[in-house]
Structure 1
Amino acid sequence: MVQFARWLEAEGKAYFLDPTDFGELQAWSAANPGDFWGAVAAFFNVAFETPPTVSLGDESMPGAEWFPGSTLNIAEHFLRRDDEATAIVLVRDDGTRESITFRELRRQVGVVAAGLADLGVGTGHRVVAYLPSSIEGVVAFLATASVGATWAQTAMDYAAPAAADRLAQLEPTVFIVGTGHTFKGQVIDRREEAAALRALLPTARHVITVPTAGLEPAMADTSTWADLVSGPRSMEPVPVSFDHPLWVLFSSGTTGKPKGIVHGHGGALLEQLVLAGLHVGLRDDDVFFWFTSPNWMMWNAQVGGLLVGSTIVLYDGSPAVPTSDALWRVAAELQVTVFGASPGYLQLCEREGVDPGKEVDLSRIRTVGITGSVLPPSGNRWVREHISPDIQVASLSGGTDIVGIFVASAPTTPVYDGEISAIALGVSLQVWDDDGKPVEPGVAGEMVITRPMPSMPVSFWNDPDRSAYEGAYFETFPGVWRHGDSITVTERGTVVIHGRSDSTLNRQGVRLGSAEIYAAAESLPDVLDSLVVGVEQPDGGYWMPMFVVAAEGSDLEGLPDRIKARIREQTSPRHVPDEIIIAPALPHTRTGKKLEVPVKRLLLGGDSAKVLSAGAVDDLTALNWIIDFVEQRA
């Protein structure tokens, strides 16, 4: 980060009173988006086949014009390192592992790209995959990008109809499909589900089967991965325009059919370089491990570690098998330097009494990255006490919308418990009230982005008039990106995220953040999970129930009072729920997010079939319990 600031000064692009002051660098980057992103491209040696005329043409949102006239291919940048160092390690929770070197990765991508081209795949086509976290998935993605086609995938825990809700929208030409995955030490056979999904993708003229989790393919009339990866020729990446569609990621689909969010080669490249190369500070001697899934944008961000020459570690399976410290043991064995997970994993470790800092050697870890939901202050304390007080807890937030970050830490920022360290580079972030006016530091409001970023979506899929895209981000404040998060920027420039603004609790005109209620309730060892919503009543009243999953052996009779007392003690009386409802389990999105908005809509009388897509939920039994509860309550 400091090297970048000093380089800006040496190149005459900017001047800083103190190049080690992240706030000064961030303020310059936000005020000068064209200069900043052009500097990122130059600093990281982005290889333009056709150079741009300017970094930023039309700056209006939506529709800002980035690097007009330029051509490049992101795959070329992923494949720059060409040696025998390890590029990717795949770890399964049954103990098996695979790896590939940078040189072999480069060879396989070139050969698979040529094979796809021989099948007639090129610009304007889509390649989709139904795969677990796998080396083949990375190779197939890079090969797809190389030929100018567009990539999308789902993990194999999706049922065929849920996967088809996403992939079939793209009318793919090629379908790459695995056979199974591992979970809790067991091989999960998904060959029947894969065959069912194939039938739901009628446009796929070519099906390529990959023997994942040790299961041989069973479908007829398909090509094999082995044949594709041992093809007779190779090809180099094809230059495409800066905003040429690279990949399609999907919204959670909890409130309707998942939206396909299209990102371009250039925007994704620059965003990942800033995330991996500056904010995370990865180098070519780092080992980068983030516990994630192909269903989540963090899989794409983890693959981004290859852009700066880091070794990346993929994981297939449960994070708590054979024991709750399984991920930490992997980190120790592979000498991981940057480790990433969700707050839920830290909370699991805390509940289970895991003490990995004493059990294994984690001395190589310098950063623990956290995203996916709000990290309560107890998460920071747990890392200090059970890993090391010298490790930076790097909490960050962004989303599928940009496959990147809006707020994050940096190697040069301090850490405050319960807060995210800073606004990210290149992000012109403000906090507005409902009338579109900026609020003072320390006041909660809507998070908005007032200047464009190159990683903002190129488009939504099947949205020719851009009405869905513009409605999603620009309807509330024309010309300004409203992200949908309720946040506070403190006087010292840190960020507190209170939750989604459309699920913000509002008692007697006072907005309350659900995140701090969860932090208080889940600090009790008896509380495994919780969900709080605020429901407007027909008589003008306001009901704020909290669903709670209790630990086995808890005193259920006294638990509601203990939860209310803890919330009152750590927040305020206004934050205390009206009712505590003990549930056997709670559903989440498949990336672990709480379903506040759908549950609120159910409690308001919404039709469950319209409010929530069952295929987007991780636990159907838990979802059905909520639906039954709502019906009985009504």
Structure 2
Amino acid sequence: MTGVWLPDPASVQASRIVRFATWLSVSGRASLPDVTDYRALHAWSVADPGAFWAAVAEFFDVEWSAPPREALAARQMPGAVWFPGGELNFGEHLLRAGDSAQAAVVLVGEDGSRSSLSYASLRSQAAAVAGHLRSLGVGPGDRVVAYLPNCVEGVVAFAACALLGAVWAQTGLDYAAHSAAERMAQLSPTVLIAGSGYRFGGQLHDRRDAVDELRSLLPGLRHTITVSTGGLPHPSSHTWESALAASPVPGGVSLPFDHPLWVLFTSGTTGKPKGIVHGHGGVLLEQLVSPGLHLDLRDDDVFFWFTTPNWMMWNAQVCGLLHGATIVLYDGRPTPSLWSLVADLGVTVFGTSPGFLEASQRAGLSPGASALRLVGVTGSVLPASANAWFRENVSASVQLGSMSGGTDIVGIFVASAPNTPVYDGEISAPALGAAVEVWSAAGHPVPPGTPGELVITEPMPSMPLRFWDDPTGQKLHDTYFATFPGVWRHGDLTMITPRGTVVILGRSDATINRHGVRLGSAEIYDALAALPLVSDALVVGVEEPDGGYWLPLFVVPTAWPPPDDLASSIRRLIAERASPRHVPDDVIIVPELPHTRTGKRLEVPVKRILQGADPDSVINRGAVDNAEALDTLISAARARRGSR
């Protein structure tokens, strides 16, 4: 069968997800005649969410300092009440796995430098830093924020905060001070943990002045712990070295299941970033399932997900420690040469983006699989052509598992699993515990093969406890539950195929609605993936005041100047690979495109700007990776429209 990856039966039998299904059946918790049948397991997981998540806690041996009275006391959204009365500590779970001598964290710099920390050292350093924070007056509920590059110290500091019950939040050191403050100042933090520099693109970036500026923008800040990163010293009254020399705490604080663990921020491209509060228990359970069952992450794995501290995937990768894996951090510019790093470190589970795979394809690479057994992909839609390239140039036996979820739940809604096939251009299935449906605008499920809104009809424990500074819950309600009362609307235009796989067609608020036909932007990007002359693209559909509709496509060529016939080649390819309806009105060639700082396309803000909105009213330039590219795009679009 072409265009499909099928799991190896022996590997399926050895997987943790099948062991979990077998345990459910043997213990009488679920009736599963075929323990390898993913669909049956998923159906059980969403039919009785309380029973499923209670089983997850028991199977993974969650250690309760106080047992819960029940699993799910209020089965509603918003307002579900999970594991009332239960107490635990996420930090203790994070640090309990892994042999003492095993590497817990490996840091690789852009220049090839490497350092590592064993599980024994991670435990002792986290306990010491927690002791230092406690001596500074930090306790449960206090906020500790970090302004760091991707570094080992960030992992240690997060674990220390979790042990104390302090609330963690961070931004990368590449953020401007005022952009970092837009996030951190909301929390009124007690302590700032700050680096001094980082390397990117072959250059050393000195951020000591930015740290000083950030401190002045955080009212109520009492202490700063400085970390010398990038080889730049940053002496202060509290240094990382003094924190490591503190008397260690003996263990983690016992905390309610829904005690805040961290605050993750929305991208902030369309306004002030919203702080999403997640709890100790909810994150723990989700991160036992998503890497533990869907990625089959084990204590002999080397787990590398290319990410930055600005993205929830940093948090998700750190959660690989829950399973005793060795996690790999990379600080620097992502290039196709990361395949060499994967091979050199013996990475077994590698996470990346569709853009990275497409760049590898354009570069003509054939890296091979080395020690890989799984490559996970998220962040945007994976085009079907990337699956074919992967089979031919990396491995036909390694699973390429596409998934989608988000910062909102710091987890997944749809994903692959060790016992699911992978079809090109499709995501294998809804994730365990995620009651995924596709609804029409009228609020009814649509037939298979019909696009609609991705909704979640049952609560999940890692859904946000609340938004920061949202005492009535109105912002939370308006974000997820205003469209369909009692049902989570995620904002993705989605289709469930007749075989039960999932296709994400793009953000529903950026849907192309041309001549009454809804089109997914992902279909256009998928077609362009087959054209090596294009390195990046952005398409938006613009409703015009006179009732017209304008569909511009912005493209970045791989070489400059681009070929004279590039625009016509693009139109022809889209017509052939998508449909004539998808062919843009204008192909606008630009040298660069802007993205969010986590690499996502700015479809919605650009659409609103091209409809006439003031750019500064719809987009926060501090949340954009290249504000000059945004200006260039807007100018090029307006010039093209003026000439039409």
| Common fold by TM > 0.5 | yes
Aligned to 1:342: 353
Kindly report which structure 2 residues correspond to 1:178-257, keeping only aligned pairs within 5 A, or say none.
178-217=195-234, 220=236, 222-257=237-272
**Cα offset, 1:184, TM superposition:** 2.3
8 Å Cα contact 1:94/1:184 also seen in 2? no
Aligned to 1:395: 402
From 327, 331, 334, the equivalent of 2:342 is 331
What 5-or-longer segments of structure 1 have no aligned partner? Answer: none
Please give the alpha-carbon distance, in whole angstroms, between the structure 1 residues aligned to 2:561 and 2:285. 49
Aligned to 2:556: 549
The alignment status of 1:351 with 2:362, answered yes or no, reads yes
Please give the alpha-carbon distance, in whole angstroms, between the structure 2 residues aligned to 1:350 and 1:621. 28
**Cα offset, 1:555, TM superposition:** 4.4
Q: The residue matched to 1:45 in structure 2 has which SS?
A: coil
From 372, 376, 380, the equivalent of 2:383 is 376
Q: Please, what TM-score do these two structures have when normalized by structure 2? A: 0.96
Q: Percent identity?
A: 59
Q: The residue matched to 2:52 in structure 1 has which SS?
A: helix
Please give the alpha-carbon distance, in whole angstroms, between the structure 1 residues aligned to 2:386 and 2:450. 24
Kindly report which structure 2 residues correspond to 1:63-462, keeping only aligned pairs within 5 A, or say none.
63-81=79-97, 82-217=99-234, 220=236, 222-320=237-335, 324-325=336-337, 327-357=338-368, 362-462=369-469
Letter in 1 for 2:402: S
**Cα offset, 1:185, TM superposition:** 3.2
Kindly report which structure 2 residues correspond to 1:1-40, keeping only aligned pairs within 5 A, or say none.
1-40=17-56
Kindly report which structure 2 residues correspond to 1:518-533, keeping only aligned pairs within 5 A, or say none.
518-533=525-540
**Cα offset, 1:383, TM superposition:** 1.2
**Cα offset, 1:566, TM superposition:** 0.2
Alpha-carbon displacement from aligned partner over 1:27-60 (angstroms, at most 9, x marks no partner): 1101110000000000000011110111000111
Letter in 2 for 1:440: P
Please give the alpha-carbon distance, in whole angstroms, between the structure 2 residues aligned to 1:509 and 1:263. 40
Aligned to 2:596: 589
Structure 1 runs of 4+ aligned residues shifted over 6 Å read none
Please give the alpha-carbon distance, in whole angstroms, between the structure 1 residues aligned to 2:22 and 2:385. 36
Alpha-carbon displacement from aligned partner over 1:369-402 (angstroms, at most 9, x marks no partner): 1000000011111211111111100100000000
Please give the alpha-carbon distance, in whole angstroms, between the structure 1 residues aligned to 2:27 and 2:240. 47
**Cα offset, 1:554, TM superposition:** 5.8
Aligned to 2:494: 487
From 552, 573, 577, the equivalent of 1:570 is 577
**Cα offset, 1:154, TM superposition:** 0.4
8 Å Cα contact 2:88/2:256 also seen in 1? yes
Aligned to 2:77: 61
Q: The residue matched to 2:453 in structure 1 has which SS?
A: strand
Alpha-carbon displacement from aligned partner over 1:521-547 (angstroms, at most 9, x marks no partner): 232111111111011111111111111
Q: The residue matched to 2:390 in structure 1 has which SS?
A: helix
The alignment status of 1:560 with 2:571, answered yes or no, reads no
Please give the alpha-carbon distance, in whole angstroms, between the structure 2 residues aligned to 1:44 and 1:84. 23
Q: The residue matched to 1:479 in structure 2 has which SS?
A: coil
What 5-or-longer segments of structure 2 have no aligned partner? Answer: 1-16
Please give the alpha-carbon distance, in whole angstroms, between the structure 1 residues aligned to 2:180 and 2:560. 38
8 Å Cα contact 1:148/1:240 also seen in 2? yes
Q: The residue matched to 1:137 in structure 2 has which SS?
A: helix
Please give the alpha-carbon distance, in whole angstroms, between the structure 2 residues aligned to 1:168 and 1:466. 20
Residues matched between the structures, number: 624
8 Å Cα contact 2:141/2:166 also seen in 1? yes
Please give the alpha-carbon distance, in whole angstroms, between the structure 1 residues aligned to 2:248 and 2:34. 52
Letter in 2 for 1:46: V
CA gap of 1:555–1:294, structure 2 versus 1, over 3 A, is closer
Alpha-carbon displacement from aligned partner over 1:278-323 (angstroms, at most 9, x marks no partner): 0000111000000000100000110111001011001100122xxx
Q: The residue matched to 2:401 in structure 1 has which SS?
A: strand
Q: The residue matched to 1:410 in structure 2 has which SS?
A: coil
8 Å Cα contact 2:124/2:248 also seen in 1? no
